[in-house]
Amino acid sequence: MATERKAVFLFFGGTGDLAYRKLYPSLFNLYRKGNLRSHFAVIGTSRAKMDDDKFRAAIKKSLADSGNRTDSKEASDFVSHFYYQDHDVTDTAHYAVLKDLMDKLDKKYKAEGHRIFYLSMAPQFFGTIAQDLKTQGLLSEGNDVFNRLVIEKPFGRDYDSARLLNDALSKSFDEDQIFRIDHYLGKEMIQNIEALRFGNTLVESLWNNRYIDNIQVTLSEKLGVEERASYYDNSGALRDMVQNHIMQIVSLLAMEQPVAFTDTDIRAEKVKALRSLRVYNVADAATNFVRGQYGSINEQADYRHEDNVPHDSTTETFVAGKLLFDNYRWSGTPFYIRTGKMLADKFTRVDVVFKRPLVDIFAFPQSQNTPLAANVLTIFVEPHAGFSLQLNAKTNDTGFSTEPIKLDYLVDAQKSKDTPEPYERLLHDVLKGDGTNFSSWPEVSYAWKFVDQIRRVWDLQEPQFPNYTPHSMGPAAAEELIQRDHREWVYRLNN
Ligand code: NAD
């Protein structure tokens, strides 16, 4: 039986794409499951003018667009909890109107003073909004109430801007009240990394540099920039994907076992791991990271000819890199990462490549046997969720040769249909006050310090762009990066 959570939500950017496409349908799922029942209200706010009825109709449409039936009493009851108030976030005096509405709805729905402020809009407004929420009295008071601030990425564009933003938020909210969304942390198989590692002696006892040769993290996108070009061109793959999603995944893979399965303990271990990530000097940054930008093929324009992209853009749409941890567990075992747009396919996966046996007794001089393959544990994050473990076994014949075989676990279609969307999990976590699957400030700051160093080196050189063909796995330099170490990417085209 789901536990009912009580709160009044205030969504800034309440008419935006993210709110309609992800946030409201996720709230509806929580409502259907009983996590939200009668003691909640949602206020949407943006500059647009509309009344509650029009807003409720838009919410119904957003539910329908995400595959829900909306002719039910359940859907009508749900949308009856939604209210709209137009508001310019830079108009301090006008926060009084939002305060009155929040207070009124709090009483009406007996939400017991619990408040969730969700900033789903451009980050340049985050500091102002946080400040005005506090100074204009929107934070409720009392020992048993909560005020939680949820913010979308990007969290700054380098360490300095992130620190300024954090300082601004910290004036109004404590760290444990701030929930920095990284929706990758809401994905089922990313959360499963902890279960896989700390729930299995077999896995965790081998999870170190003695047995693991290297770990590869690939976040591959098939599409180009689409309609996000103006944002993306200012950001690039390093800021857009590596600083947040990839660093979060890597820290879950690299961290030590937490004392307990609590947000405080998990975050402490992730921070410790990130602290031992080697921040490269100029020469190492240039050697260990490569960038790319897609060219054209057939009807597909190159990146520089996409709408809203300058023709001389030097923004990278691809990054690959090698990360090194200077600690007892990982010294000598590199983590290779890559991400990019317009690649061969859309998927996210982690490949853990184990060391080959020290002695291959099957490779005696007269044997025809091919050398033993490495054991590889693959964590499939999306589009299909599951694991695969590659082992060596004897071939089924009279001779004695070995061949790699795979033990596969794939989440079945029904289970994946029932798997909550990342935003549903994360909104539920916010309601529970569980920060496990959000980025803490120390994590964000270490990730920026690492990424800034790469950026600094790149900004000194003019890249030779475009340098990869659409629907490939990136530039030749990404292959060279790993081949130099006598290794290869586990996921390759046509394997
Ligand atoms: P959007 O442009 O569709 O929506 C922005 C919202 O902010 C609108 O409701 C707009 O009316 C409102 N707004 C803008 N200026 C305002 C002002 N001065 N006062 C009041 N309201 C104002 O953006 P989006 O795609 O919904 O994204 C919102 C945030 O989430 C952004 O920070 C984005 O980077 C982040 N994000 C979006 C996605 C996505 O899939 N759309 C994914 C990850 C992160």
Segment 425-477, tens digit of pLDDT: 999 999 999 999 999 999 999 999 999 999 999 999 999 999 999 999 999 99
pLDDT of residue 397: 82
Q: State yes or no: pLDDT of 358 exceeds 70.
A: yes
Distance CA 348, CA 218 (A): 6
pLDDT of residue 370: 81
pLDDT of residue 495: 63
Per-residue pLDDT of 194-229, as tens digits, reads 999 999 999 999 999 999 999 999 999 999 998 889
183 among annotated binding-site residues: yes
pLDDT of residue 253: 98
Distance CA 171, CA 119 (A): 16
Determine which one of 39, 81, 87, 245 is catalytic.
Answer: 245
Measure Cα distances from 294 to 16, 297, 422, 454 in Å.
29, 9, 29, 20
- Across the chain, mean pLDDT equals 95
With CA atoms as reference, report the closest residue to 28 among 71, 66, 83.
Answer: 66
pLDDT of residue 112: 97
- Residue 76: half-sphere exposure toward Cβ, Cα within 13 Å: 3
Q: How many helices (H) and strands (E) does the chain have?
A: 18, 14
- Look up 245 and say whether it is catalytic: yes
Q: Measured from the CB, is residue 391 less than 6 Å from ligand 1?
A: no
pLDDT of residue 102: 98
- Give me ligand 1 centre to Cα 482, in Å: 38
Mean pLDDT of 375-398: 93
221 among annotated binding-site residues: yes
Q: State yes or no: pLDDT of 486 exceeds 70.
A: yes
Per-residue pLDDT of 294-327, as tens digits, reads 999 998 899 999 999 999 999 999 999 999 999 9
Best-predicted range by mean pLDDT (26-30, 185-189, 359-363, 399-403): 26-30
* Mode of pairing for the β-strands spanning 115-119 and 147-151: parallel
With CA atoms as reference, report the closest residue to 319 among 195, 219, 434, 415.
Answer: 219
pTM of the model: 0.96
